[in-house]
Amino acid sequence: MKKVIIVGAGLAGSYIATLFPSDYDITIITKKTRLDSNSMLAQGGVAAALDKGDSPQEHEKDTLKAGNYHNDKQAVKQLVNLGPKLIDNLISQGMNFDRSSDGQLAFGLEGAHSFHRILHAQGDQTGHELTKFVQSIIRNDIKWEENTTVLDLVIEKGECKGVVTKNKNGKVTVKYADFTVLASGGLGHLYPLTTNDQTITGDGIALAFRNNVELKDMAYVQFHPTLLTKKGKCYGLITEAIRGAGAILIDENGNKIMQNTPQKDLAPRDVVTRKLKAWQQKGHKLFLDISHIQSFKQKFPGVTRNLINHQIDFETTKKIPIQPGAHFFMGGIKTNLEAQTSIRRLYAIGEVACNGVHGANRLASNSLLDCLVSADKAAQSIMQAPSNNNKNFVQYDDLTYKSNIEPVLPSKDELLEKTWKQIGVVRSKNNLNIFLKWLDKFNYKELSPEKISSENLTITNLCICAELIAKSALAQPKSLGANYIKGV
């Protein structure tokens, strides 16, 4: 019997749990509950070349173009060819995607796609519906450990033997496994304005860094152009599918902001975000004009609920106040096409991983598809690999941790204020160096995760991610995609 530990309960972690034979011992560990993940919040949909006239080759072209050709071509080919088969398989198992009146799958359009190929479920609630469906087909004998934090990886002789965890009561435990799969999401809460679930604080990236697991493309953070904004604060994503349905970006005077840009309102996200940021810095307010969309409330029920909850008068004004914010991380733990990391028996899937599929800028609605594809490839690799016959596991008492050092850390608010200004949408070499010099004042790399509070662990992990992004951005010879450095 093979024993597998999965860290993370979003689509990638939940989906891989469904793929193993019944004699596998599977445990899913998640920081909060199975309902708390970015996957549950994903509005846009799933991109898949399933419509007549479309093809994986066209999807591949769009993915490469959006990624500024920094993508791994083989990873992109794998995504666009395997993805539709996995979607078909889920449909055959009972997953309901939205359909047109004739019963055919309904395909939407989003930025930088050349075809209508975006599948939705319940309009703008695709991630929630898909993740909920996948979790419903997880076997009853698979163990869930909710409200449990993974503090460390157990690594011996270049091989991952399991994880060190802390539950909500503060109990620290070592859990051993033949294979460990990281599916812990990105680092969106490194920024004050974000679409991400509150649990997404770069934990998997920090775990990898502390254990010398190879990382890749750490400079590339995608900022989404349209977050609902009220009194300077953001309250969730306004899906790009709304622009795909005909909405346009305007300022307070009704000027069309993207009018003179190629692909206009459906340009790649990094292009739209920088344009909006520049417009905002000139003193303008930003809006999404939805006056051309018929039956808005029926098409976008999730967004509608959010607008009503925050008392946005969109029905009268036909405008939604927006601004850019952090959305998705293209970098992460370096993996091959089978989702294997640089450490044996350690896999990474979904947003925490970087197999190069997204390049320098993710194409809209490719993330849920990548969750499925990377999970499938990891499962196949694990099922073909031999069990770990070495039972000479290290015991918790033998794990050597650094001594109990008093934390010297910034406040979370101070850190996020600086990340937004200095490693945000537009960067400069001077600001990146100033930011790194500021980070040098703190001892986050010296702290032992099991000896600090949960709040300090979050700040520590975010500091590690921030340093990695800044150093990676400085190391790039030129601006590319989401890593835009002024003057370079």
Let me know how long the chain is. Answer: 488
Burial class (CB within 10 angstroms; exposed 0-12, middle 13-18, buried 19+) of 253:
exposed
Other Cβ atoms within 10 Å of 153 Cβ, number: 20
Using DSSP bridges, classify how beta strands 172-176 and 118-119 pair: parallel, antiparallel or unpaired. unpaired
Active-site residue, from 34, 117, 269, 345 = 269
Q: Name the H helices within 195-262.
A: 203-210, 241-244
For the CA atoms of 239, 240, 244, 245, the dihedral, rounded to the nearest 10 degrees, stands at 20
- The Cα diameter of the chain in Å comes to 70
Tell me the two tokens of residue 325. Answer: 């914010």
| Residues 449/151, Cβ–Cβ less than 8 Å | yes
Tell me 191's DSSP state: S
- Distance in angstroms (rounded) separating the CA atoms of residues 314 and 122: 21
**Quick one: CA torsion of 419, 423, 426, 428, rounded to 10 degrees?**
120
| Residues 6 or more apart in contact with residue 171 via CB below 8 angstroms | none
Q: Which two tokens stand for residue 35?
A: 């309902």
The answer to whether 117 is a known catalytic residue is: no
CA distances to 231, 334, 355, 430 from 186, in Å: 27, 13, 14, 26
Q: Indicate left, alpha or beta for 193 from its phi (over 0: left) and psi (-120 to 50: alpha).
A: beta
Which structure tokens are listed for 10?
Answer: 């979003």
- In angstroms, rounded to a whole number, what is the distance separating the alpha carbons of residues 375 and 45? 18
Q: What is the dihedral of CA 39, 41, 295, 298, to 10 degrees?
A: 80
With H, G, I as helix, E, B as strand and everything else as coil, classify residue 481: coil
* β-pair type (221-230, 233-237): antiparallel
**Active centre residues (catalytic):** 269
